[in-house]
Amino acid sequence: MPTLSAITLYPIKSCAGLSLQQVTLTTLGLMTEQIYDREWMVVDANGACLTQREHPRMALIQPTLKAATLEVHAPGMLRLEIPLGLPDPATAPALTTHIWDDHVLAYDCDGLTAEWFSKFIGVPCRLVRFHAHAERPVSTKWTGGVQASTMFSDGYPVLVASTASLDDLNQKLVAAGRQALPMNRFRPNLVIDGIEAFEEDYADSYQIGAVTLKPVKPCPRCPMPSIDQATGQIGPDPMDIMQSYRAKPEVEGALCFGMNAILIAGEDQVVRVGQEIEVPLAF
């Protein structure tokens, strides 16, 4: 029987994630201790999102959940404490941010936080948090008309991949004289063990107890899988190997790994590592 083998929540977009043993599933994505996946984001002076694509050192920014703060660490930096309590929407400083084609209202974190991130990343920037009055709907082109929303993810609230898919890619990399890659290069939220390679692409749903996730769109890949998440250094890019077999015509030939998914049943249910998953195929 397939099982859920790993759970990762990324509090700050494009920074390191939190490896969890259990998590609550919501329509906005993963949540733990009232903290959501990609709830925070780093933006430039114009409010546009910054990612590892241009700033690979962001991989080294490691958040840790404490009782009342999100504690952030990075090499050579003093730790930073970010309050977990939500600001008052009526009085807290806010700005409009830009993430791909979306304009999203966000709380502006304080100047000390902006200074910390600017110093480590090496460009003027600020940390923002998804606003209580904001909503970011996903494209219904891929959901079959089902309404869904996300925070600061690239486009959908949950990303799913399988260990067999990574094993398949790594076999090809090793055969070409390259090093195998860890799963964190692809930054999925949920990892499934016990299915065939890329079977997640063809699933009708992922059923985890009372939770039903619907896969809606293959995840096109940029150069981020070439970034070593442990060092923040750019290494060999696996895209040339993926070019031979992972181009998806439904996304204009983009090279894909993992499936974006939305929650269609089981709001606020807890799922756990080791839990069985039913993965019925769509054909």
The answer to the question of residue 97 being in a domain is yes
Indicate the residue type of 72. Answer: V
For residues 236 and 146, membership in a common domain is answered with: yes
Count of structural domains within the chain? 2
d(C-alpha 142, C-alpha 173), whole Å: 31
For residues 73 and 166, membership in a common domain is answered with: no
Which of 62, 96, 130 is where one domain is finished?
A: 130
* Strand ranges in the chain using DSSP code E only, listed in sequence order: 3-9, 18-20, 22-26, 29-32, 35-36, 40-43, 62-65, 69-73, 80-83, 94-99, 102-108, 126-130, 158-162, 190-193, 206-208, 211-220, 247-248, 254-265, 269-272
Tokens of 81: 């404490």
DSSP state of 1: -
Tokens of 151: 């925070």
Nearest to 39 by CA among 13, 65, 19: 13
For residues 90 and 179, membership in a common domain is answered with: no
The answer to the question of residue 30 being in a domain is no
> Which of left, alpha, beta for 174 (phi over 0: left; psi -120 to 50: alpha)?
alpha
For residues 112 and 147, membership in a common domain is answered with: no
- Print burial letters for 44-62: b (CB count within 10 Å at least 16), e (below 16): beebebbbbeebbbbbbbb
For residues 100 and 199, membership in a common domain is answered with: no
d(C-alpha 219, C-alpha 138), whole Å: 14
For residues 173 and 222, membership in a common domain is answered with: yes
The answer to the question of residue 96 being in a domain is yes
For residues 103 and 145, membership in a common domain is answered with: no
Indicate the residue type of 165. Answer: S
Q: How many helices (H) and strands (E) does the chain have?
A: 4, 19
For residues 208 and 261, membership in a common domain is answered with: yes
For residues 69 and 151, membership in a common domain is answered with: no
Which of 102, 130, 158 is where one domain is finished?
A: 130
Tokens of 168: 């398949």
For residues 75 and 146, membership in a common domain is answered with: no
For residues 160 and 117, membership in a common domain is answered with: no
Which of 107, 130, 153 is where one domain is finished?
A: 130
d(C-alpha 206, C-alpha 29), whole Å: 14
pLDDT at residue number 267 = 97
The answer to the question of residue 262 being in a domain is yes
pLDDT at residue number 90 = 87
pLDDT at residue number 103 = 97
Sequential pLDDT tens for the chain (283 residues): 999 999 999 999 999 999 999 999 999 999 999 999 999 999 999 999 999 999 999 999 999 999 999 999 999 999 999 999 999 988 999 999 999 999 999 999 999 999 999 999 999 999 999 999 999 999 999 999 999 999 999 999 999 999 999 999 999 999 999 999 999 999 999 999 999 999 999 999 999 999 999 999 999 998 889 999 999 999 888 999 999 999 999 999 999 999 999 999 999 999 999 999 999 999 8
d(C-alpha 131, C-alpha 149), whole Å: 13
The answer to the question of residue 23 being in a domain is no
The three-point CA angle 127-129-134 to 5° equals 140
pLDDT at residue number 283 = 80
The pTM assigned to this predicted structure is 0.96
Contact of 29 with 211, CB cutoff 8 Å: no
- Residue 249: burial class (beta carbons within 10 Å; 0-12, 13-18, 19+): exposed
The answer to the question of residue 283 being in a domain is no
Nearest to 25 by CA among 281, 279, 272: 272
For residues 253 and 150, membership in a common domain is answered with: yes
Helix (H/G/I), strand (E/B), else coil: 180: coil
Contact of 58 with 51, CB cutoff 8 Å: yes
The answer to the question of residue 15 being in a domain is no
Domain boundaries, position 166: 3-10+138-272
